[in-house]
Amino acid sequence: MMAAQSDATAEPRRFDKLGWVQHDKRPIFSIDVAPNGERFVTGGGDALVKVWSLLHVMGGQKSGKQVGEVPKLLATLAGHTLGVSTVRFSSDGQYIASGADDALVIIYTLAPGRGQVIPGSLGASNYENWQQTQLFRFHQTNVTDLTWAPANSARNQLATCSLDNQIAVWSIEDSKPVAILKGHTSFVKGVAWDPMGVYLASQADDRCVIIWRTSDWKEAQRITSPLAQQPTNNCFFYRLCWSPDGQMLTIVNSLQNGACAACAIKRGTWSQEYSMVGHFGAITVARYCPKLYAWKGLGGAHEIANCVVLGSVDRGYSLWLSVKQQPVHFAKGCFRGSVTDVAWAPDGWTFLVASTDGTVAVTSFHEQVLGSHAPDEEVTSHMKELYGDLNSGRKIKPVENVEQASAEEGRDSLPAKCTSCNEQVTHPPGRVLDGVEVGSTSVSEPQKWPATMTGRQGHSKLPLQQEGRTADGRRKIHPVPVVPSITSVGNENGGRETLQGRAFSQPGSPKGKPSTPSERLKRSRDGVPCTPQSKCPRLVSAVAPAIGGTSVTAKTAQNGQSGTDLQRLKVAAAALPPKKTTFPLKSGGQGICDALDDAEVTVQVSNGERISGGKEYAQIVCRRGPRTAWVAEVVGKVALVTGSPRFCAIATVEGDLQVFSESGTRDFPSIRLGERPSFLDSDGEWMLLSLTCHGQLRVWDLGKAECVVETSLFGLLSENTQVVAAYLSKCGLPLCVLSNYHAYLYKVDMKCWMRIVDDSFPFSHYHTMFKWSSHSDDSSGELINLQIGRAQHQRQPSRLPAMDGRSSDLDSRSHLEHNMAAAQALQSPHEYKRWLLVYIRHLVKCVGTPEMKGDEESKLREICEDLLGPMGEASKGEVPVLNGRQWLPDVLGMDKRKILKTDVRGILCRNRDLQRLRDEVESMLNDS
């Protein structure tokens, strides 16, 4: 072990993550140490789980083995297809569980003999034989964290959480969840199992921690006050942790008076005991040492102490003892990336810290720094005092609330409540504790320790808090803000942390309200209109948002060859790299055409501005109104530019994509598209669409640094068609228009293209070349504009019944049903309602006509039943069901029963053949 320095710090040793590809430096997202201390496991961005020898890290000092007896890398486990977010050993060390961005949870177990061949290693095999035994499929998206039940539990269980807002509890003997916990309303990013097996804690982006009872999996407590100021979606992991005696739950990513903190919550009362403040970035992980420490206080009193390590996105970590006001060790900026996870060795003296820069730091301490471990008999006595005799064989339920403890001790009054999360305990100026002067620093005098533990009593007999009284006579502890030191841990949060989410305020939203970068796509999946309606476009046909584009044909998409030279298309200007031109950037909620005329932010491109070293450079000048915001240079010739007030994306004819922030900082290295780009588009916020001349389409959420759509247009194209427009629709989904003016929308939740505009209904009466009036709403009619563009291109008005006797009414009915489905796919509520009412009028008109099939009344009855919903006892259930399907009371944000009352009921009166149906509807509406 490494000796501690005189200032109670220890220099961490770095352990480089060497995979089967020697130059692989992918980020490490998770790390854990086996209960026997002989190995540890990592998971990262390379989608691999790797088992390492801890003997190499510890210098061969365990089990009497020499380092040379075993290799450093024991096994490489390939089972996931996307980055591994979390890996954990089971409490008995028999299993390894891993969760990843592919929404899978895989269980591995150690078998006898040598392992299989490592993927990509040219024949090398694993030293240890870890085999995949189970695969759990339940979560809909990224698995962010998992935790095993403690060893004293009756069953070997596992809890996992995901960005689908759910927590699943699994039995290792079964591949199905035994419990699904749905109390959170946003992304769940951390779970922790109580070491006593009574509770499960979870933390999510909804600014709350939920304590679940493991006996019935019901919510026991919801903790919100320490997280009231928490910025949501600012980091990908919230790895909270229980102390080994189960008395403290430390939650992360808290904000106390503007300072990043981790808060210790007392078991039973669920109130905040103290907070640990000092990091300059969001705290992502807290990990308690598995050992309890025996600490002698200032007055000679013997105390049991917990030790916890905090990791942060500020690239540092800190070590705290529960009996000390200041951190024992504070590592400043020892990584090049965020700290993602921490794992303790079972000896209680060494811990490992993982980072997104692909390295692990190992830190060890001596007894002089942390104190000695509490003897087993003292730990047993401590646990018996808290929970009763756990080893007697009798099932004694632990004391879980302060009322129960008071009743057992015969007290007449309850203990006073702990201070709230905003009340901090301070020391008198100049007070010296543990050799460190606290409470006397100022901005001009940097303090020795930039961190402090607030909200708890010190050890001195002198009064250590500044108290007062409120107007009603209640005791109040005055909060004192923590002033960070100028020379303390460097704040790297100002830079872009591409592997973590970020929070920004959306335009037009309340100040300080965090934005969700994937909001448009998420709402489109939920069936809710997600974009403010923009002004009506001044063009009737679909317009390409990019300034120019390359032909995307079936031939180029199939053969992987470059298409023809950049050419002028029907709705897009030439994409030949201009000498000098200005590109507009869209703002949130702005229509495609509006961006061409009303852009507040513009980017001027000057190609061939400078030639150096045989390379041509283009100059980029971004302006906000008349003011120049920033200037940059890129290598190559710029062909396309798009963006929003959040970012600017620049594509070159060489196939490179550069992304700049709103201040002109490069957010990412150069993105290689693989081929010359055809179209770029932004939704005005964080979404970016790219289409290459080979037909490869991608949509990125730049706020979260992830690809949300990746597909090809090859299946849409024929020999005589090409793409003339590709952009993000108002609902945030990719939309492509071909040269025959067929329009396709890509549904993310169904992973398929849907043709929303075509020429399949040539004899319908409802084709038009005129726009609908928008006197009743502000809708720009995205679907009708696409239809008008196709009609103008075809130049064929609606015709009379076909010569083959085909009915125009049947074609019209099919056309109206298609339009309703297309409007619903586009998340256009006003168009959906319009087509619905036109469809009902058409059915009412055709009831009883000899040329129809006679099913109009049944279709009308089905519509009315869906708008009305279940009645009587059927409507009292938690999830209303109609005709075997879940019934929703609204469609695209519009109340169904209101549509039935105000619009449909009056249309049914127009045909006497429907009076019985109308009377039934009236009767049910009166009963509802």
What's the token pair of residue 546?
A: 């990019």
* Domains 13-387 and 534-756 fall in the same CATH topology: yes
Backbone angles phi, psi at 860, to 5 degrees: -65, -40
Report the CATH fold assignment for 534-756: Methylamine Dehydrogenase; Chain H (2.130.10)
DSSP classification of residue 722: B
Which residues, including other chains, have CB under 8 Å from residue 803's CB and lie 6 or more apart? none
- Look at residues 770, 919, 761, 904 and name the one whose alpha carbon lies nearest to residue 843: 904
- Count the Cβ atoms, other than its own, within 10 Å of residue 38: 18
Higher-pLDDT residue of 587, 399 = 587
For strands 350-355 and 339-344, give the pairing: antiparallel
pLDDT at 595: 47
Helix (H) or strand (E) holding 367: helix 367-370
- Residue in the structure block whose two tokens are 């005329």: 597
d(CA 734, CA 739): 17
380 has pLDDT over 70: yes
d(CA 420, CA 272): 7
Q: Give the bridge partners for 294, in sequence order.
A: 304, 372
pLDDT at 447: 36
pLDDT at 154: 55
How far are the Cα atoms of 335, 579, 641, 673 from residue 544, in angstroms, in the given order? 44, 21, 13, 20
Q: Which amino acid is at 197?
A: G
Q: Where are the alpha helices (DSSP H) in 828-895?
A: 829-846, 856-868
pLDDT digits (tens, 9 = 90+) for 235-262: 889 999 999 999 999 999 998 888 899 9
Q: Sign of dihedral through CA atoms 566, 572, 574, 578?
A: negative
Crossing angle of the two packed helices 829-846 and 856-868, in degrees rounded to 10: 140
Structural contact between residues 712 and 557, judged by C-beta atoms closer than 8 angstroms: yes
d(CA 578, CA 581): 6
* Out of 27-31, 422-426, 747-751, 771-775, least confident range: 422-426
Q: Output the CA torsion 801→807→811→813 (10° steps).
A: 130
pLDDT at 168: 95
- Residue in the structure block whose two tokens are 């935790």: 147
HEC secondary structure over 214-279: CCCCCEEEEECHHHCCCCCCCCCCCECEECCCCCEEEEEEEEECCEEEEEEEECCCCCEEEEEECC
End-to-end CA distance of the chain: 74
Structural contact between residues 303 and 275, judged by C-beta atoms closer than 8 angstroms: no
pLDDT digits (tens, 9 = 90+) for 341-358: 999 999 888 999 999 888
Which residues, including other chains, have CB under 8 Å from residue 665's CB and lie 6 or more apart? 495, 496
pLDDT digits (tens, 9 = 90+) for 652-703: 988 899 999 989 999 999 999 888 888 899 988 899 999 988 888 999 999 9
- Residue in the structure block whose two tokens are 């090859």: 714
Summary mean pLDDT of the chain: 74
- Residue in the structure block whose two tokens are 């392992």: 115
Q: Which amino acid is at 420?
A: S
Higher-pLDDT residue of 224, 21 = 224
- Look at residues 556, 578, 551 and name the one whose alpha carbon lies nearest to residue 566: 551
Q: Which amino acid is at 469?
A: R
- Look at residues 269, 278, 247, 288 and name the one whose alpha carbon lies nearest to residue 419: 269
Helix (H) or strand (E) holding 725: strand 723-728
d(CA 456, CA 426): 9
Higher-pLDDT residue of 538, 475 = 475
Structural contact between residues 95 and 49, judged by C-beta atoms closer than 8 angstroms: no
pLDDT at 743: 92
Burial 873-887 (b: 16+ CB within 10 A, else e): eeeeeeebebeeeeb
Structural contact between residues 199 and 211, judged by C-beta atoms closer than 8 angstroms: yes
**725 pLDDT tier (thresholds 50, 70, 90):** confident
pLDDT at 716: 83
Higher-pLDDT residue of 813, 789 = 813
Structural contact between residues 41 and 32, judged by C-beta atoms closer than 8 angstroms: yes
What's the token pair of residue 153?
A: 């539990």
What's the token pair of residue 863?
A: 């519509």
What's the token pair of residue 75?
A: 């096994």
Which SS3 state, helix, strand or coil, does residue 923 take?
A: helix
Q: Which CATH class is domain 13-387?
A: mainly beta
- Residue in the structure block whose two tokens are 């015969």: 410
DSSP string, 90-151: -TTSSEEEEEETTSEEEEEEEESS---BPTTSTT-B-SSEEEEEEEEE--SS-EEEEEEPPT
Its pTM surpasses 0.85: no
**100 pLDDT tier (thresholds 50, 70, 90):** very high
Higher-pLDDT residue of 726, 767 = 726
What's the token pair of residue 129?
A: 């034989």
Which residues, including other chains, have CB under 8 Å from residue 786's CB and lie 6 or more apart? 542, 737, 741, 743, 756, 757
Structural contact between residues 659 and 622, judged by C-beta atoms closer than 8 angstroms: no
pLDDT at 569: 30
pLDDT at 425: 34
d(CA 801, CA 811): 9
pLDDT digits (tens, 9 = 90+) for 7-24: 344 656 655 443 332 324
- Look at residues 109, 61, 102 and name the one whose alpha carbon lies nearest to residue 85: 102
pLDDT at 548: 38
- Look at residues 589, 586, 636 and name the one whose alpha carbon lies nearest to residue 608: 636
Which sequence spans correspond to the domains of the chain? 13-387, 534-756, 759-928
HEC secondary structure over 535-557: CCCCCCCCCCCCCECCCCEHHHH
d(CA 292, CA 307): 8
Structural contact between residues 670 and 679, judged by C-beta atoms closer than 8 angstroms: no
pLDDT digits (tens, 9 = 90+) for 44-69: 988 899 999 887 766 644 444 555 55
Give the up-direction half-sphere exposure of residue 1: CA atoms within 13 A in the CB hemisphere: 17
Q: Output the CA torsion 802→804→810→811 (10° steps).
A: -50
Q: Which amino acid is at 504?
A: F
- Look at residues 909, 921, 765 and name the one whose alpha carbon lies nearest to residue 847: 909
In the structure, how many helices (H) and strands (E) does the chain have? 14, 56
d(CA 579, CA 596): 19
- Look at residues 873, 874, 887, 896 and name the one whose alpha carbon lies nearest to residue 905: 896
Mean pLDDT, residues 554-583 = 46
pLDDT digits (tens, 9 = 90+) for 457-472: 443 333 344 445 455 5
pLDDT at 724: 85
**70 pLDDT tier (thresholds 50, 70, 90):** low
